[in-house]
Copies of this chain bind each other. A is one copy, B any other.
Amino acid sequence: MNIKKLYNDTVIGVIFMKIAIIGGVAAGTSAAAKARRVNPDAEIVIFEKGRNISYAGCGLPYYISGVSESRDKVIIFSPQEFTEKYKVEVKTGHEVTEIEPRDKTVYFKDSVNGLTGKYLYDKLIITTGASPVIPPIQGAEPGNVFSLRTIEDADEIVKMINKRELSRVSIVGGGLIGMEMAEAFKRLDLEVDVIEKQAHVLPTFSAGMAEIIEKHLKENNINLLTGETIVRLSGNSEGDVKSIYLESGKEIRTDLVLISVGIKPNTELARKAGIKIGPTGAISVNEKMETSLPDIYAAGDCVESTNLITGNPVWVPLGSTANKQGRVAGENAAGGNATHRGILNTSITKVFELGVARTGLSEKEAREAGFKAFSIKIRSVNHAGYYPDMEKIYLNGVFDKKTGRILGAEVIGKEGADKRIDVLATAIYNKLTANDLFQLDLAYAPPYSIPKDPVALLGLQAEKEL
């Protein structure tokens, strides 16, 4: 807030701070909500080119499958609700077309009436997110090829499922979204093919762990086609893809194609405004989420982060990080002083019954970062054998031979994988060693663990190699 004072203490004019936010999903709404809490008087405006804001991107597979009760459930706030709760102006259907940093102006276009306008900001927060990478598809734009990024994408897929007689769907790309959608489609009683170019699904996982996931996918009747490249799609007269031809010669019949080969950060606006783009291709920001230009912040899937182990810039777009970064950007834009130090690339996904999680560096990444890294894989159980529903749990740890420090981990299990990955992420955050993992005083009772928790066992096993 700029308060113009003339003489003595007589305030004759108050100009409220104006904060503009480009993008209204995870980072954007977190930024707006936090900015409002920090600065009750600021004028805060969100420009969102889509029709919805504040929805849970991570919830879309559960909306599609019906695991989530309704579409409404994945929308945390409607624009009206958000405005009411946070006194933030929400302009949906408004695409920002240009940032002019010298005049502190954003130019926008209203998609409903085509009118354009501009907004003068004191502080700007860029939360433009990321977009799916869609490989070029031969021929016309097919009506049954989708990606899943926004709630509008999900709506289209749901419409297609409700409208047509689908029996077989193909997922191109076996990453996190590919895995979640394989489960979602299977719940809808569809035959599911997953086509992955790499040798294994979830290529950030070590091969041994990925094989456990693949076994589980097959047990759940997912057709896995790993190490397969698509040569050609072929369609019918209505413009729908009906067959996918693979390099191996296989032909996959399909009624719907979901492309989930990856996403790329939406940086065009920032780039054109002269904001520094980092080596990862995403917007470069510091711990305060400040970009290279004054009074412009950025957060979420469009920015890069710092890997807490290597100190290197990395781009790992995830909802939890977006949420935190948005909060930090919002707080700082509104006059506060917050930081987001970086990430460990921690992620988890549920693949049918399995929790599949990772954190830190892979063995390969650790070696590239200069560590003398080795891996330890153990099989343990989630809790005491005499308590019902004991389940196997697999842990893979990456350790530094020189110091014994844990650098990365993967955990897979039906129950308790999320717990162990979070303990290991906390351990890695603190540069703990294999021996520390044994020393940790974790909570034990028969329904929750075993007297020596799998995390302790991983540490003991690693210590033998030091």
Q: Which residues of A contact B (CB under 8 A)?
A: 26, 56, 58-59, 62-63, 67-69, 73-74, 308, 318-324, 327, 339-350, 355, 357, 359, 384-388, 416, 418-419, 421-423, 425-427, 429-430, 432, 436, 438-449, 451-453, 456
Contacts and interface: CB of A to CB of B under 8 A. Distances in A.
Contact of A323 (B58, B419, B451): B451
B419 A442 contact: no
A422 to B, nearest CB: 5
Contacts of A443: 320, 346-348, 357, 359, 418, 421-422, 425
A359 B349 CA distance: 28
**Copies of this chain in the oligomer:** 2
Contacts of A67: 387-388
A62 B418 contact: no
A445 B350 contact: yes
Nearest to A350: B447
Contacts of A320: 441-444, 449, 451-453
B440 A425 contact: yes
Given A59-B387, A323-B452, A359-B441, 7 more contacts: A59-B384, A68-B388, A321-B441, A350-B447, A359-B443, A422-B442, A425-B443
B447 A56 contact: no
A19 to B, nearest CB: 20
Given A67-B387, A387-B62, A429-B439, A26 B451 contact: yes
A339 B439 CA distance: 9
Given A74-B386, A452-B323, A444 B68 contact: no
A341 to B, nearest CB: 5
Contact of A386 (B68, B384, B432): B68
A418 B448 contact: yes
A416 B62 CA distance: 20
Given A385-B73, A426-B426, A446 B343 contact: no
Contacts of A359: 441, 443
Contact of A423 (B74, B423, B439, B445): B423
13 contacts: A58-B384, A58-B446, A59-B387, A67-B388, A320-B449, A323-B451, A323-B452, A347-B443, A348-B444, A421-B443, A425-B442, A426-B427, A426-B442
